[in-house]
Amino acid sequence: MANSPSLMTALGRGFRGACPRCGEGKIFWKYLKVSPNCPKCDQDLAQYPADDGPAYFTILLTGHLVVAPLLFFPFIWKTPSMIIVPATLIPLTAFTLILLPRIKGAFIGVMYRMDVKAADAHLHSADYAD
Ligand SMILES: [Zn+2]
């Protein structure tokens, strides 16, 4: 990892959907499908096991940044549910879908920088603790 980017650089590149190593190739070939290799620098991108981590952080951020602050506004409680449910769920869904690939990219960037690979699962997974 002599010329590897800093943690924040790798995280930022991943957040933009770019390869954490070179910052040019795209991480995803579909919405959340990770490319096997970076098209620019040929970095093996499929070896980083994001698993449920991005979904967890996306839910955490959405809940803390949007849902919890909304509950402080009285209009949430006073507006009829026929209006408030779609008026909040549609933007929440959009926010979640926009955030999820960015969080997953950032997650892969952090795993790239910290050299956490699927092949090392026996070192960092409780599944193998027995
Ligand atoms: Zn690359």
Residue range 43-85, pLDDT digits in tens: 999 999 888 999 999 999 998 988 899 889 999 989 999 999 9
Compute, in angstroms, the gap from residue 104 CA to the centroid of ligand 1: 16
| Average pLDDT score over the chain | 90
Does residue 109 belong to any structural domain of this protein? Answer: yes
For residue 40, report the distance from its CA to the centre of ligand 1, in Å: 5
Q: What is the model's pLDDT at position 92?
A: 93
* Domain interval for residue 69: 7-128
In a domain, 1, yes or no: no
CB-based neighbours (< 5 A) of ligand 1, an ion? 19, 21-22, 25, 38, 40-41, 43
Tell me whether residue 45 is in a domain: yes
In a 3-state reduction of DSSP, which class is residue 19?
A: coil
User: What is the three-class DSSP state of 9?
Assistant: helix
pLDDT category of residue 128 using cuts at 50, 70 and 90:
low
Domain for residue 2, yes or no? no
Nearest-angstrom CA–CA distance, 100 and 27: 13
Q: Domain total for the chain? A: 1
Cα 69 from chain centre: 22
Cα 45 to ligand 1 centre (Å): 9
Q: Is residue 52 part of a domain?
A: yes
Residue 12 counted as domain residue = yes
Three-state DSSP at 106 gives helix
Q: Does the pLDDT value for residue 34 go beyond 60?
A: yes
Distance CA 26, CA 17 (A): 6
